[in-house]
Amino acid sequence: MRNSTIDRKTTETQIKLNLNLDVCETGVIQTGCGFLDHMLTLFAKHGNLTLSVLCQGDTYVDYHHTTEDIGIALGQALKEALGDCRGITRYADITLPMDEALILAAVDISGRGMLCCDLPIPACKVGDFDTELVYEFFEAFAKNAGITLHIRELAGRNSHHIIEGAFKAVARVIRGAVKIDAEAKDAIPSTKGVL
């Protein structure tokens, strides 16, 4: 079974994160930020995976450290759960509508962490969440997972819809890329023989 538990402790955050790529069950998500809880809950649902996140962070400052550090922990968990990536599909992409927002996401489980993101969000905040933290989350996630992740906003007006569309789209491409390819289940999907 492809799963991982990450315990990350710094002077700014204490995180316990559990990820299971092969079982979809409801996990407990408590980050101290309601909007981030909402995004991670739908990430788990649309990724068809089990995700539990408990975080105690310095939210009296703002949500920056909490958001970025959860991205780091989630990326580390994905990388660990995938192991040598034997049998995975590796690539996936989607164009996902979320009401008036339209988000393109594409991923390569490449072993090379990179984020290419063009996601103009009109509002500076959704509730008390700084929208610039969306980029920080996905950059931390991509770099620590060792994936090449593209996110592009093709249309959108409502900041909540744009962000939600991005989280759903990324979850769906992760779901597709980590799926086991029945025709190559024992192969590393690279001519190099390693990812």
Per-residue pLDDT of the chain (195 residues; tens, 9 = 90+): 899 999 999 999 999 999 999 999 999 999 999 999 999 999 999 999 999 999 999 999 999 999 999 999 999 999 999 999 999 999 999 999 999 999 999 999 999 999 999 999 999 999 999 999 999 999 999 999 999 999 999 999 999 999 999 999 999 999 999 999 999 999 999 988 888
The DSSP secondary structure of 177-189, one letter per residue, reads: HHSB-GGGTTS-S
Q: Can you give the pLDDT at residue 193?
A: 85
- Asked if 148 and 107 touch (Cβ cutoff 8 Å), the reply is yes
Question: How far apart are alpha carbons 80 and 96 in whole angstroms?
Answer: 28
Q: For residue 147, count other CB atoms closer than 10 A to its CB.
A: 28
Q: Can you give the pLDDT at residue 163?
A: 98
Cα–Cα–Cα angle for 165, 169, 175, nearest 5°? Answer: 150
Question: How far apart are alpha carbons 190 and 90 in whole angstroms?
Answer: 9
What is the domain class of 3-184 according to CATH?
alpha beta
Among candidate residues 84, 113, 89, the one with its CA nearest the CA of residue 183: 89
pTM: 0.97
Q: Can you give the pLDDT at residue 183?
A: 93
Joined together, the tokens standing for residue 100 give: 């008036």
